[in-house]
A and B are shown apart, each in its own frame.
Chain A
Amino acid sequence: MNQLAEIISRNEDKIRAEWIDGMTRSVQRADLISKAELDEQCGALLGAIIAGVKSSAPTDVSAASWESARELLQSISASRARQGFSPVDVATFVLSLKQPLFASIRDTLKGSQDDEMFKTVWAATELLDRLALITTEAYMATREELITRQQQELLELSTPVVKLWDGILALPIIGTLDSSRTQMVMESLLQTVVATNSKYAIIDITGVPTVDTLVAQHLLKTITAARLMGAECIISGVRPQIAQTIVHLGINLEDVVTKAKLSDAFALALDRSGRTVTRKDGVRASANPISTLLEKREE
């Protein structure tokens, strides 16, 4: 095994130069990474590989002596994933090291017993295959992270929390409410409750197509969590069909305030928080309070 270590260290510069030259233009991606940076990365990786091969675990890449090589590969791979290299480019980056490495082995062991050359070449190929796999795994992990983050952002965008007035929030839910969406809704709503110190939250379900026992449970969870923090929820946007379903299913909404329209819910929240709506000419507005002037009642 020390043969391999010897061969690589003695021919380090030659191997590195041939490696970079051998990389086809598509793997090099001069548009994404400069020649100097590439040279640096290859140099660092080759150095780490030499250190690993010289150690007591020459081909076991999971051993401690290979940690710096692994970390190097993972960071190179992750940054390329982010930059937009294809997975083939990234794996080929490592695999293209085989050509110059085998060439050096052949040159050094020319004339020695066939077995010797074969064993060394085999060790080299095993090593590089394992390193390439590490690269691929790291690449995939980075892409998955990216996708997860985008999914998260999408979820957040689809449940905006709107401040209607001082201390009154509105949360219009569009689409079905499953358990993972509920978690998102709860987190988003409760964090906004704290940030804005809002005692009232109007959850509008006009955009929720069906309300069955499960959806009702999810809503109740959200309402209970808000109550534990000291905020009150009002459900609005209850359509006639929804009302019928709720009664038919025997869902108990006794402790929950529900309103058909968002405006009714808003009026209720204003009233509960000690506010009244008056017109500019002093006449108190009656039915729908969403009019021009709102005055906070003096305590």
Chain B
Amino acid sequence: MIVLKRDLQHLKNSNDMVLARQKVRQWATELRFSLVDQTKLVTAASELARNALEHGKGGVMILESLANGTKSGLRLVFEDQGPGIADIDLALKDGFTTGSGLGLGLGGSRRLVNEFSIESEVGKGTKVTAVRWR
């Protein structure tokens, strides 16, 4: 598997979130994902970017277009240096939240993509990786 293209989007304020959504939409269109898959990608990106911004106190989103044999895909990585998640399994359950809101971000986003993983250390930060293949 190889990475064909790479880009970075800072997530420091709510305007960055709009930019992040636009970038993901643009890349998904270029990779010729179907409309429904594009919508799922952009929505997942919105959820995860918001998490990084609100709970992670800001971070970055890395976009990578992938090629694995004849498959093409889009990988999104969200990294923050926030408080981290103590219990990842609990966080993935729908309805879980530490702050305001319904906390659907993580569990819901996982269902919108093909591959999903979380690395987190309390006090250090969180890294969420999401991949959708075409």
Direct contact of A and B (CB under 8 A): yes
- The verdict on B70 contacting chain A, using a C-beta distance below 8 Å, is yes
A40 to B5, CA, bound (A): 33
- Chain B residues with Cβ below 8 Å from A144 are 70
Q: Is the CB of B70 within 8 A of A183?
A: no
Give B70's nearest chain A residue, CB to CB. Answer: A141
- The verdict on B36 contacting chain A, using a C-beta distance below 8 Å, is yes
- The verdict on A133 contacting chain B, using a C-beta distance below 8 Å, is no
- Chain A residues with Cβ below 8 Å from B36 are 183, 187
Task: Tell me the chain B residues, 63-88 only, with Cβ under 8 Å from chain A.
Answer: 70
- Chain B residues with Cβ below 8 Å from A141 are 70
- Chain B residues with Cβ below 8 Å from A187 are 36
A-B contacts at CB below 8 angstroms, number: 6
What mask results when residues 177 to 198 of chain A are scored 1 for a CB within 8 Å of chain B, else 0?
Answer: 0000001000100000000000
Give B37's nearest chain A residue, CB to CB. Answer: A183
- Chain A residues with Cβ below 8 Å from B70 are 137, 140-141, 144
Give B35's nearest chain A residue, CB to CB. Answer: A187
How far is the CB of B12 from the nearest CB of chain A, in Å?
33
Sorting the interface of chain B by its residue count into under 10, 10 to 19, 20 to 34 or 35 or more gives under 10
Give A187's nearest chain B residue, CB to CB. Answer: B36
Task: Tell me the chain B residues, 46-78 only, with Cβ under 8 Å from chain A.
Answer: 70
How far is the CB of A214 from the nearest CB of chain B, in Å?
14
A155 to B36, CA, bound (A): 16
A187 to B36, CA, bound (A): 8
A144 to B68, CA, bound (A): 13
How far is the CB of A78 from the nearest CB of chain B, in Å?
12
A187 to B39, CA, bound (A): 13
How far is the CB of B82 from the nearest CB of chain A, in Å?
32
A36 to B36, CA, bound (A): 44
Give B2's nearest chain A residue, CB to CB. Answer: A62
How far is the CB of B41 from the nearest CB of chain A, in Å?
15
How far is the CB of A89 from the nearest CB of chain B, in Å?
20
How far is the CB of A119 from the nearest CB of chain B, in Å?
30
Give A186's nearest chain B residue, CB to CB. Answer: B36
Give A138's nearest chain B residue, CB to CB. Answer: B70
How far is the CB of A222 from the nearest CB of chain B, in Å?
13
- Chain B residues with Cβ below 8 Å from A137 are 70
A141 to B71, CA, bound (A): 8
A187 to B70, CA, bound (A): 25
Give B134's nearest chain A residue, CB to CB. Answer: A148
Task: Tell me the chain A residues, 158-217 only, with Cβ under 8 Å from chain B.
Answer: 183, 187
How far is the CB of B116 from the nearest CB of chain A, in Å?
16
- Chain B residues with Cβ below 8 Å from A183 are 36
A144 to B69, CA, bound (A): 11
A144 to B134, CA, bound (A): 12
Give B71's nearest chain A residue, CB to CB. Answer: A144
What mask results when residues 28 to 52 of chain B are scored 1 for a CB within 8 Å of chain A, else 0?
Answer: 0000000010000000000000000
Give B34's nearest chain A residue, CB to CB. Answer: A187
Task: Tell me the chain A residues, 114-172 only, with Cβ under 8 Å from chain B.
Answer: 137, 140-141, 144
A141 to B36, CA, bound (A): 23
A183 to B111, CA, bound (A): 13
How far is the CB of B72 from the nearest CB of chain A, in Å?
10
A137 to B68, CA, bound (A): 12
How far is the CB of A183 from the nearest CB of chain B, in Å?
7
How far is the CB of B122 from the nearest CB of chain A, in Å?
34
Give A145's nearest chain B residue, CB to CB. Answer: B70
A140 to B70, CA, bound (A): 8
How far is the CB of A210 from the nearest CB of chain B, in Å?
24
How far is the CB of A16 from the nearest CB of chain B, in Å?
31
Give A144's nearest chain B residue, CB to CB. Answer: B70
Could you name 6 residue pairs across A and B whose Cβ atoms are closer than 8 Å? A137-B70, A140-B70, A141-B70, A144-B70, A183-B36, A187-B36
Q: Which residues of B contact A (CB under 8 A)?
A: 36, 70
Across the A-B interface, the 4 shortest Cβ-Cβ residue pairs? A141-B70, A144-B70, A187-B36, A140-B70
